[in-house]
Amino acid sequence: ARKVNNHPSLKKTNARVYWGIDNVEEFKKLYSDAHFVETIYFTSDQAIINLDQKVKMMFKFAHLFRMAREAHRILVYHIE
């Protein structure tokens, strides 16, 4: 996750990534009361609408491949 903040899409939006997780099962072990809400894909049209054309095309292409699509996502959980 160190280099992720250099990604063009994050620079354009001024977003910052402070941590990430590769295995959802690890998260579930930490927060057993967490309930899955939704998955947000950064490769979807809604997420890339404000990016410049070059970066937008890169994400559209990435969306075609499951590995890339899964790497650019947010899993939303509700923790009670």
Q: What is the DSSP letter of 32?
A: T
DSSP secondary structure letter of residue 60: H
Domain boundaries, the chain: 3-79
For 7-32, how does the pLDDT look when each residue is reduced to its tens digit (9 = 90+)?
777 777 777 777 777 778 888 888 88
**Residue range 32-69, pLDDT digits in tens:** 888 889 988 888 877 788 888 998 898 889 889 988 88
Do residues 20 and 75 make contact, with C-beta atoms less than 8 angstroms apart? no
pLDDT of residue 1: 57
Q: What is the pTM of this model?
A: 0.58
Taking the C-alpha atoms of residue 80 and residue 75, their distance in angstroms, rounded to an integer, is 16
Q: Where would I find the beta strands (DSSP E) of the chain?
A: 34-41, 73-79
